[in-house]
Amino acid sequence: MNAVRIAVVLAALAILAAVPWFGSDVLIQFGINALLLAVLAQGWNIIGGYTGYPSFGNSVFYGLGSYGVAIAMVQWQWPFGAGLVFGVLLAAVFAVLLGIPVLRLKGHYFAIATLALAQVMAAIVSNVKLAGRNIGLVLPPLNNDRLFYELSLGLLVLATLTIFWLTRSRFGFGLIAIRENEEGAAVMGVNTTLYKTLAFALSGIFSALAGGIHAYWVTFIDPESAFDISLNVKMIIMAVFGGPGTVLGPVVGAFSLSAISEFLSSEITSLAGLFFGVVVVAAVVLMPRGLADMLRRIRRVGWRYFAENIRTHRL
Amino acid sequence: MDLLAQILINGILLGGLYAVMALGLALVWGVLNIVNLAHGAFIMLGAYVSWYLYTYAGVDPFLGLPITAMVMFVIGYAVQRGLLNLIVRAPMFNTLLITFGLEVVLTYLAQLAFSADFRTINPSYAGNSTQWGPIVLPVARLLAFGVAIALTVAMWLFLLHTRLGRAIRATAQNLVAARLYGVEPRHLYAVTFGIGIALAGTAGGLYGTVSQINPYIGAALTAKSFAISIIGGLDNPLGVIVGGLFLGILESLTSLYVGSTFADVASFGVLVLVLIVRPNGLLGKAA
Amino acid sequence: MLKISGLTALLFAAAAVTMPSNGAFAKDIVLGASVQLTGPVANTGRYYRDAYQFAIDKINASGGIKVGNESHKLALKLYDNQSDVNLSVRQYTQLVSQDKVDFLLGPFASNFALADSAVSEKYRIPMVQGGGASDQIFARKFKFIFGTLAPASNYFGSTIDMLKGLSPAPKSVALLYADDAFDVSVADGTRPKLKQAGLALAMDERYSTNATDFNSLLSQIRSKNIDVVLVAGHETEILNFVRQAKSLAVAPKMYSFTVGVPSEDFRKALGKDADYAFGMTAWLPSAKLKDRWFGDAGQFAVAYKAKFGYDPDYHAASGVADVEALAQAVENAGSIDPAKVRDALAKVKFDSLYGTIAFNDNGQIDLPQTVIQVQGDKLTAIYGANGKIAEPKYPMPAWNAR
């Protein structure tokens, strides 16, 4: 990474951090949502982008983090920080216990299994009295959007730095090896089960932290919103749109898609959801390798880039 | 004892409906390796087609099923030929994403076209029941059960014993060889997907006679269909009957002995177990 | 996003400079709301959109509201939250901080009201909502949320009173309720009342919101020969329940539902199968409910149907009540300062087409429910706060004996 790029990134970071002092309330709210989605996308990036195990159920960790904070603060009167730790513990334990059997599955069976896990947890939690069953929990209100914004930004920085470290560490190379050729990696001495589970847990921990912050910010969670299935696709499409397996790709994807979606929500409300679906369909057909790849190659190949993508993948 | 018997019969009849719902998904998945996350949305569309036929043309929902099936076949063919064929050779993961996007689009289009009001298909005999000793059998569910079994057996026979069925299976297993034999894969894939969607539409028509229709029923139905397909196993077309019956009975018993809010826990819990322990399903080969 | 705000600001400035000042009418008082216009509960959400606009138009037509010496017209700023609670919260924040509305009107449904009232509390802008009845909304001791729906815990109150006078006397009761905030509140409030009335609770079952299959529960009701079935749920669930009751030949002596029966859609969807069903409503379009702007509830109902093409039910009346409460409070306070209006709302008491509007200490209205029953093709009021009004059709015959 040369000096210019570092300077640009630091400048962007400074601007982002200053937003709560110059932006409107609505902008800060949008910012928190976009930042948390970016964290989710980065979390997914670890297990989906780098390890090649496309989890369709990271929303389960988000939900566990949310409920961890909610139960800790509402039922046991713990402070927020302790609640976050509790949420992280829940996510980590879940990732290890259920990750080990589920990570033995390949390809889309893994995806389906994680989706099923998310559904099960939502169904289980809606029956747990401590979690408020299907009504959910109301957290003590804290009106400090600036704090939540900076927390979310900090979490995103942490997640991105983790991924950056990943790209330079043995652990990261092991994950990439698993993605490219798992059997080969095992033969070469990579402990695939350990690495996969760690990646899953790491991905889950970031999702849980995002969930915990979100829960405290919104002050109200219920099984449907905490284990929101559509979050899975949102985080995946943002990671894929921006560029899976890259350090900043998911962040770019998250910010750009959030901005477009929010703009539509406030201007042409009912069509916003429709737009989201159309973007997903179009992106998968026209630019399945993400924005980064498109920007890089469109300079060389021009509009033929899209036709090429289609030709490579169609029947 | 009577209560238990009634609950079991409820479960079996529910299972039949479940089997029909999952049939299209299992066909497309097992044969074409296309995992259709928009399956439920197509069931919803089929339900609307049946509703329009019933409300504006007075066509009986059961007798009108072939019409619904044909309409949905055309839609399915177009979707495969025009859209999904474009990503068949991409990683499977792309199929999951694109069909999810498709689900969102279809749901919103349905909301714009049909509004969010719920609809019902309520022919005069829909509320009738017939008695079999102490057991009450709702007529609509009984008919749906019959249709389900018939369709599933027909599908099995079709895939194993007809030329088109064999051509479809051959294409799915070996694209190059199929081409060498003069099979046009793009057309064949579209036909198969069309059949899958026609089946989904039929399930929708049946669903409309026993429950409410609105644009948002898709997601839950997709999830159910997945559970059924996997639990039953994708290798054998009869797997959906096993999966459907198993789930129907499991949910009814859970409702009776544990509580109706635990039905989803049971269904998806079993799904997770099956995926971990026996991913090829109850009727599939042992992993 | 900032770019767009800048352009809009420029346009506003230009408009403000060029617009002729109208001496008689000063700046509009803007009421903001985020309502479910699309999504699974859009069906009922639209009642609120229609009701809010209808009330505002009527108030404006009779001269607006007087603040001091000036008359102000009301305006409505409405967003569609697509039945998404998170979006609803963000939209209320936008209404307050960006659109700078003066006061807030509520969404439909208790879980929305629960989440959205956090926004009104945070920004200290009064919100009057007519869509959430759950006691939870008012248990947080928030000062800026007011509700015009009668408390959930009392929904079956008059029904249980009525049961005492029925013959043959009902002995066993089944209580079925969905697992959301409103219906759990209803169930929690119903149990002690049943106990007081000496009725045995033979079945007490919670079911999942949006459940489509009631065969299990219905089979148990039949096997236990239960006399009275009370269902607290949502319209689609209750529709499924009735249809499945018919197809399983389950006919208790009576059944009563917390929603559905008062609404035209519901009765039309069931057709003849709706006969004998009991429900409740805190509002009926009676000419006895006099209103400052609409004349009386009867005239309101006629005008509403003429304009929108469907009969208003208590949701619509509740929406109108929200607007009227704010209008009255602003006039009483003589100001549009949020804190003063909030205090005026807490003390307000006046008659309207919805009944007497007054809020108790925690911000909720208290209205008794009237038991209603579908009798043939009519909706009849059976039992109210003052006792019996008309003869109920009881007991319900078997389905094949209708």
Q: Could you give the percent of chain A with pLDDT greater than 70?
A: 98
Chains that contact A by 3+ CB pairs under 8 Å? B, C
Q: Count Cβ atoms within 10 A of the Cβ of residue C339 and give its class: 0-12 exposed, 13-18 middle, 19 or more buried.
A: middle
Strand-strand pairing, C145-147 and C127-129 = parallel
Amino acid identity at A130: L
Per CB-CB distance under 8 Å, the chain A contacts of C97 are 24-26
Q: Pick the residue with more confidence: C131 or C118?
A: C131
Cα C309 to the chain's mean position, in Å?
19
Per CB-CB distance under 8 Å, the chain B contacts of A180 are none
Q: Using 50, 70 and 90 to split pLDDT, how confident is the model at C74?
A: very high
- R_g of chain B computed on alpha carbons: 19
The residue in chain B having the minimum alpha-carbon distance to the alpha carbon of residue A122 is B265
Contact C147, C129 (CB under 8 A): yes
C115 vs A: CB within 8 A:
yes
What digits encode the pLDDT tens for the residues A207-266? Answer: 999 999 999 988 888 888 899 888 888 898 899 888 888 888 899 999 988 888 777 766
Q: Which tokens belong to B62?
A: 């059961």
Contact A173, A238 (CB under 8 A): no
Mean pLDDT in residue range B180-188: 81
For residue A299, the model assigns a pLDDT of 81
pLDDT at A271 exceeding the cut of 80: no
Q: Using 50, 70 and 90 to split pLDDT, how confident is the model at A3?
A: confident
Mean pLDDT over each residue of chain C, to the nearest integer: 89
Lowest mean pLDDT among B243-247, B263-267, C21-25, C117-121: C21-25
For residue B63, the model assigns a pLDDT of 92
For residue C81, the model assigns a pLDDT of 87
The residue in chain C having the minimum alpha-carbon distance to the alpha carbon of residue B141 is C247
CB contact under 8 A, B256 and C271: no
Cα A257 to the chain's mean position, in Å?
13
CB-based contacts of A276, cutoff 8 Å, min separation 6: A261, B101, B104
Contact C105, C52 (CB under 8 A): yes
DSSP calls for A130-142:
GGTTTT-EEPPP-
Instruction: Compute the C-alpha angle A195/A199/A205, nearest 5°.
Output: 145
Residue C398 DSSP class: P
CB contact under 8 A, A105 and B279: yes
Contact B201, B69 (CB under 8 A): yes
The residue in chain B having the minimum alpha-carbon distance to the alpha carbon of residue A237 is B97
Total residue length of chain C? 402
User: Which helix or strand (DSSP H or E) is residue C202 part of?
Assistant: strand C200-207
Per CB-CB distance under 8 Å, the chain C contacts of B214 are 40, 236
Helix crossing, B185-210 with C235-247: angle to 10°? 80
Minimal Cβ distance to C38: which of B116, B140, B261? B116
CB-based contacts of A237, cutoff 8 Å, min separation 6: A253, A257, A279, A280, A283, B97, B101
CB contact under 8 A, B97 and A233: yes
CB contact under 8 A, B116 and C40: yes
The count of CB pairs under 8 A between chains A and B is 137
Per CB-CB distance under 8 Å, the chain A contacts of C98 are 24-26
Contact B184, B167 (CB under 8 A): no
Amino acid identity at B185: P
pLDDT at B142 exceeding the cut of 70: yes
What digits encode the pLDDT tens for the residues A168-218? Answer: 999 999 999 999 999 999 998 889 999 999 999 999 999 999 999 999 988
Strand-strand pairing, C349-352 and C355-358 = antiparallel
Total residue length of chain A? 315
For residue B127, the model assigns a pLDDT of 82
Q: Pick the residue with more confidence: C10 or B219?
A: B219
d(CA B105, nearest CA chain A) in Å:
5
The residue in chain B having the minimum alpha-carbon distance to the alpha carbon of residue C247 is B127
Q: Could you give the percent of chain C with pLDDT greater than 70?
A: 94
Total residue length of chain B? 287
Residue with tokens 């969102």: B104
CB contact under 8 A, A274 and B109: yes
Instruction: Compute the C-alpha angle C6/C8/C13, nearest 5°.
Output: 95
The residue in chain B having the minimum alpha-carbon distance to the alpha carbon of residue A99 is B276
Contact A132, A73 (CB under 8 A): no
Measure the CA–CA gap between A29 and C132, rounded to whole angstroms. Answer: 25
Closest CA to A35 of A147, A165, A198, A141: A147
Chain A interface mutation, best of C79, C111, C142, C209, highest count of A Cβ atoms under 10 Å: C111
ipTM: 0.88
Max CA-CA distance within chain C? 76
The residue in chain C having the minimum alpha-carbon distance to the alpha carbon of residue B126 is C247
User: Which helix or strand (DSSP H or E) is residue A19 part of?
Assistant: helix A3-22
Q: State the alpha helices, DSSP H only, in A219-303.
A: 223-226, 230-242, 249-267, 269-286, 290-301
Q: Could you give the percent of chain C with pLDDT greater than 90?
A: 65
Q: Count Cβ atoms within 10 A of the Cβ of residue C254 and give its class: 0-12 exposed, 13-18 middle, 19 or more buried.
A: buried
Residues A101-131 as b/e (b if ≥16 CB within 10 A, e otherwise) read: ebbbbeebbbbbbbbbbbbbbbbbbbbeeeb
Mean pLDDT in residue range A274-282: 84
Amino acid identity at A300: R
Q: How many CB atoms lie within 10 A of CB B112?
A: 14
Measure the CA–CA gap between A29 and A32, rounded to whole angstroms. Answer: 5
pLDDT at C20 exceeding the cut of 90: no
C208 vs A: CB within 8 A:
yes
The residue in chain C having the minimum alpha-carbon distance to the alpha carbon of residue A26 is C94
Measure the CA–CA gap between C83 and C81, rounded to whole angstroms. Answer: 5
What digits encode the pLDDT tens for the residues C226-274? Answer: 999 999 998 889 989 999 999 999 999 999 999 989 888 788 888 889 9
Q: Using 50, 70 and 90 to split pLDDT, how confident is the model at C5?
A: very low
A101 vs B: CB within 8 A:
yes
Q: Which tokens belong to A223?
A: 């099984």
d(CA C380, nearest CA chain A) in Å:
34
Measure the CA–CA gap between C285 and C289, rounded to whole angstroms. Answer: 8
Per CB-CB distance under 8 Å, the chain B contacts of A310 are 86
CB-based contacts of C390, cutoff 8 Å, min separation 6: C380, C381, C382
Per CB-CB distance under 8 Å, the chain A contacts of C49 are none
Share of chain A residues as helix, strand and coil, in percent rounded to the nearest 5:
80, 0, 20
Chain C interface mutation, best of A120, A129, A135, highest count of C Cβ atoms under 10 Å: A135
Contact A290, A240 (CB under 8 A): yes
Strand stretches in B107-164, DSSP E: 129-132, 135-138
Residue with tokens 């900043």: A248
A30 vs C: CB within 8 A:
yes
